[in-house]
Amino acid sequence: MASSPPLPDLQLPAIDARTLAHLVSASADLALVVGSDDVIDDLSLNMRDLQASAIAGWRGQTIGAVVRHDNHAALQTMLVSAREGKPARRFDLNHPLGKGRDLAMQYSAMKIGADGQVVMVGRDLRPVAELQARLLANRQSLEENSQRQRQAEAHYRQLFETASEALLIVDVDKGRVREANPRAASLLGLASPDIAGKKLPALFDKSRQADIQALLAHALASGTPVSLTIASRHGLLLTLTAQLFRAGELKLVQLSLATAEESGSAAPDAHLGDLVRHAAEAVLLVDEAGKVVWANESFLVLAGLSLADHASGRGVEDFLQWSGIEQDVLFAKIRRNGRIPLFPGRVKGAHGQSTEVELSAVWRADGPQPGFAFVMRTRSPEEGRLGRGNSDLTRTAESLIEMIGRVPMKDMVRDTTDVIERMCIEAALKLTGNNRASAARVLGLSRQALYLKLHRFGIAEDEEA
């Protein structure tokens, strides 16, 4: 392909020096008029971000004094070429501005007049330099992201290949296996490369291929794990568990394969979890700091909560209340004994209601998060009244012995006094037929003092209920 001819030089009519000066000043970011002695006779600045006074101080200085020393060779070449009348070329020069800053300019120079004067027409290169710096930074960022992605892919590949669990990754839209780890290939009796790209149903008995399609459809629709027991083409009975996940716009299913022995050994734990989740008794799991970790459905109903998230992370004292012993002492006793069976308490509801319950507590030392498990059932009003005083008093006496040496005596006396006060108030109410005015006289209290104690011990809530 023939190259296009060079553009002819711009032809201008004869113009006076003043018009030429205006033209150069308007078209250049920085224009310098350099005399035959290399002294700057005049200049024009069109860059608002620079201090004009600093640049104006260049007048009367030699051009070499305002150009970086390592650019002097290019500067001399430009000036000599211009004075010899050679075609203008572009030269990149840097002007030091102090404090480590430079002004990068691109100049074209031409001779004006017969006495060797040269006009240098300059263009600011800083926007170009900034753009280049941004491009370089973006390129480095892309390279770093690419490196991180390669590392993540390598880690994923290593984990996937060495996992003891048999795994297949399936493209839901195409129904084809994208990846299979060695354990899955072993169970299917094939090599991993032979599995990739195959239709998933083709790996199993033909009579069950419709069930495989239904498994994928169910996993896609529900978004929850779905299981199916099926025989491989070699007759090995396998349990498949499909779990949907997304990778960008791809809809993928992670399919785990387990033999009958493997799935059978894991089944009791799964069934136990379902049993606790749907148990009639309310169950509350608490960490060592007393924060709620998990609650089953029966507890949510008892506490008047719609979602488990409304309980998670809150203090156990927001929901459970017991008399005669402080929470830290109770927790220490549970941790020391391993469990405490059948002690009375209350569940405080989200809407102000209070329910008498019978609790059992267990210390959970195993697992990633040690803590306490509380199992509770509701108590009828008759159960609450019968024997409450005796059980409270008995447990308080037992607690007193265990607290000696661990809790200051004044705290033990205060807790014991609370139990005795409550027993006296309940006995007075029973004696007077729940007549609070008469009960106050029997106890030697004012009615206001009795009402305060009723609310303090939650007895008022019992009577209202």
Q: Rounded to whole angstroms, how far apart are CA atoms 284 and 307?
A: 14
250 shares a domain with 289: no
pLDDT top residue among 267 and 247 = 247
80 shares a domain with 23: yes
C-beta neighbour count of 140 within 10 angstroms: 10
259 shares a domain with 350: no
Q: What percent of the chain has pLDDT over 70?
A: 82
> Of the candidates 301, 289, 345, 288, which has an alpha carbon nearest to the alpha carbon of residue 321?
345
Q: Rounded to whole angstroms, how far apart are CA atoms 355 and 377?
A: 10
- CATH number for the domain that contains residue 453: 1.10.10
DSSP assignment of 217-249 equals HHHHHH-S-EEEEEEBTTS-EEEEEEEEEEETT
Weakest-pLDDT range from 34-43, 121-130, 183-192, 392-401: 392-401
86 shares a domain with 53: yes
74 shares a domain with 40: yes
- Res 75 pLDDT > 90: yes
In this prediction, residue 385 has a pLDDT band, given cuts at 50, 70 and 90, of very low
Q: What is the mean pLDDT of the chain?
A: 80
Number of structural domains in the chain? 4
Report if residue 149 sits inside a domain. no
Report if residue 236 sits inside a domain. yes
pLDDT top residue among 205 and 256 = 256
- CATH number for the domain that contains residue 57: 3.30.450.20
User: Which residue, 267, 298, 318, sits at the end of a domain?
Assistant: 267
- Res 74 pLDDT > 90: yes
In this prediction, residue 151 has a pLDDT band, given cuts at 50, 70 and 90, of confident
- Res 267 pLDDT > 50: no
SS3 category, 31: strand
Report if residue 228 sits inside a domain. yes
- Residue 41, sorted as left (phi over 0), alpha (psi -120 to 50) or beta, turns out to be alpha
119 shares a domain with 29: yes
In this prediction, residue 275 has a pLDDT band, given cuts at 50, 70 and 90, of confident
Report if residue 240 sits inside a domain. yes
289 shares a domain with 252: no
Three-state SS sequence of 42-81: EEEECCCCCCHHHHHCCCCCEHHHHCCHHHHHHHHHHHHH
pLDDT of residue 28: 87
352 shares a domain with 257: no
420 shares a domain with 326: no
Give helix then strand counts, H and E, for the chain: 16, 16
SS3 category, 377: strand
Only one residue has tokens 């394969």, namely: 257
283 shares a domain with 241: no
Report if residue 287 sits inside a domain. yes
User: Which residue, 211, 237, 267, sits at the end of a domain?
Assistant: 267
In this prediction, residue 128 has a pLDDT band, given cuts at 50, 70 and 90, of confident
In this prediction, residue 325 has a pLDDT band, given cuts at 50, 70 and 90, of low
- Res 66 pLDDT > 90: yes
Range of the domain at 313: 278-385
393-428 per-position pLDDT tens digit:
555 555 555 556 556 677 667 767 777 888 888 878
153-204 per-position pLDDT tens digit:
888 778 777 777 889 899 888 888 988 888 888 888 888 788 888 888 888 8
| pTM of the predicted protein model | 0.38
Mean pLDDT across 435-440: 83
257 shares a domain with 297: no
Those residues whose C-beta lies under 8 Å from the C-beta of residue 294, and which sit 6 or more positions away, are 284, 285, 308, 312
pLDDT of residue 107: 94
pLDDT of residue 411: 66
Report if residue 119 sits inside a domain. yes
- Res 62 pLDDT > 90: yes
User: Which residue, 267, 293, 315, sits at the end of a domain?
Assistant: 267
Q: Rounded to whole angstroms, how far apart are CA atoms 56 and 42?
A: 9
284 shares a domain with 263: no
Q: Rounded to whole angstroms, how far apart are CA atoms 317 and 372?
A: 13
pLDDT of residue 350: 77
Q: Rounded to whole angstroms, how far apart are CA atoms 42 and 119?
A: 9
Report if residue 344 sits inside a domain. yes
Mean pLDDT across 317-323: 84
Going from the C-alpha of 272 to that of each of 266, 275, 279, 294, the distances in angstroms are 10, 5, 10, 15
Report if residue 195 sits inside a domain. yes
